[in-house]
Structure 1
Amino acid sequence: MSATKIIHSIPSDPLTGSISVPVYQTSTFIQDAPGVNKGYDYARSNNPTRKALEDVVAGLEGGHAAFAFATGLAAIDAVLKTLKSGDEIVAVDDIYGGAYRLFTHVYEKLGLNIKYVDTTIVENVANAVSSKTKFIWIESPTNPTLKVSDIKAIANIAKSINALLVVDNTFASPIAQQPLALGADIVIHSGTKYIGGHSDLVAGLVVTKTQELSEQIKFIQNASGGILGPWDCFLTIRGIETLDIRYRKQCENAQKVAEFLLKCDQVDNVYFPGLTAHKNHEIAKRQQNGLFGGIISFTLKDDTVAAANVFVTNTNYFKLAESLGGVKSLLCHPPQMTHASVPREKRLQTGIKDSLIRLSCGIEEAEDLIKDLESAFKRVASKKLVQAI
């Protein structure tokens, strides 16, 4: 969807002519008679501001319908609730720590079986699935090591066993990647990230491909009640208005920063799909429309938590914080922050080394971001020098 179509897919208010979607800050709606209303009866079930957001997001992803939840994890939870005890999920091994925690500490106890595989190798997925597999669950790119999986190939595997492919599209955003068009059945977003874009809200979004799936998620949204409030819906809509221009600038910045990191003596590995050395660069180039996102991860040659701590506490423009995708650049240390709930042994198996640092490039000038990182590298080097003396 072009920037023009995105902006003009957001409706104006037919009642007043307001160019912005109104915030319907109400808990209930007056009815003409029992069950006779103007399409709304109670705000958990529906709300005009939320409906506007959901319609816009469905259009962004080319889906049948979309559903807005209070957080990204609430969106994931709603999708999981379509399963039953004994069902199986084949999931990407490098999965978001919050999703891993939810899978492991909540749903495995309720009888779901989760298999984790490196989905960047299609054969791994084919070998892992079984007659009990109901979902193949991937992030592409993944959080935090930016693994890229072939969505179309994995969708074919899912269809061959009558399973569904769920794609977390948070890192690529609808600007770069359209998983439903590539064969996925359900798309999930943490709307907190690129879609909201300003680090001022938390939100989750589910986009469904078919009417049947839409009816299932709508029922769960209403029955479980983890909905996104009208004000946060308004903020998310406002974020979508600049999504295209923001995301493209962040991609541009990340490419420059990643190329800088490749040349740094203190850096061991750089993880970014826009680098030709990336394992699945060509797949990313094809299915992400040549846009590689604003997230970069890298490890230090001094692969210690101590070295990482020095680095992440000595930047100026990159603010140390959870989350990503906002207009201000952020950085974090996943082993102690976003992925602390994942056991260290499993983290190491999936490439999350002790020194792994994740950068989220904002819309500042790339040259300023690079100077900021150079300063942090100098602090790491001086710290080592002091220790050596």
Structure 2
Amino acid sequence: MDFNYSDEQTMVRDSVARYLADTYSFDARMQTVNGDLGWNPAVWKAFAEELGILGASFSEEHGGLGGGAIDNMVIMEEIGKALVIEPYLSTVVIGGGFLKAAGGAIAGEVIPKIIDGSAIIAFAYAEPQGRYNLADLRTSARKDGDGFIINGHKAVVRDAPFATHYIVTARTAGGQRDSDGVSVFLIPANSAGITRRDYPTVDGARAAEVYFENVRADAGTLLGAEGAGLPLVEQVVDEAIAALAAEASGVTRRLHADTLDYARQRKQFGRPIADFQVLQHRMVDMFMEVEQAVSMTLMTTLNLGEDADKRAKAASSAKIKIARVCRFVGQNAVQIHGGIGISNELAVGHYFKRATMIEGQFGDADYHLQRYESLMD
């Protein structure tokens, strides 16, 4: 099997890396993080128009470049290296994943808007009581004529403060944790009855508690079959885990590189601390963990097109490994830097925060160990 990137994928990677190196410095990022908006619309516009990466993973039929999951992997690794906070994962990977799988008129309408940068999607799936169980839903969607009435509360909806649409999971039948009866909707963010409580997250992003009170959803907003949405949700979340693993590869690469650079400059007893054998061993261990993360990411991405069980096993095994890599590399980076490793002034502390958030996003290592075991049974 050929594991080399195509010429087009290499060109996309190099273009993104060059753009971010030129325009997305740490200081520029922090200015955006501390600003009122919490993201940079000019960067998003450049992603759409200058780089064209918002369409890289979509078919030519919808105006994209005809790529797929590998293209998302390439882009997400560069996003991780630069610690980009703009909503590529939630909009292109997750929102695009749902729309590509659901198809139909709604996909034909919204995907071109994702590609041109005018549609931003937030995934409203988590609930306060649900932990990582995608089927644990109190949010309900009651049939009303040719549409639905949605009521409920979604927690920690990443990118919700500036989203134009929400993808919402809601229960149309069954009990609170039943696998049947889950439906998925694409709801305009300005719909009557939606309220938000916005806040910053520890890694510099923005999220919100989103409340739905008698929100009207037309039948055309339903993604997939009514009451049979859980397999679709699981598929897209597995795709998101693969993309998240690629981001983690970029984050941990940067943590290792910055730590190595610091160790070569920081002197103790008249010598750079990089000369001390015990720290050399530690940084080699960090490098090996990063390379394993990269390999697991590629393996998972290549398995996204397999049957549901094989795909899920690959995603869970990757999340287990990625969570451990993020913790090992992040903690060692901070330890070698010392106290300044967690300061706001130094980039490594912010990479450590993002690595820590990735550990638990879409399930921590313990959850995915249990999921993998259940799949084996």
Name the structure, 1 or 2, with higher relative contact order (CA <8 Å, separation 6+).
Answer: 1
Considering the TM-score relative to the shorter chain, is it more than 0.5? no
Give 1 or 2: higher helix fraction: 2
> TM-score when scaled to structure 2?
0.25
- TM-score, normalised to structure 1, is 0.24
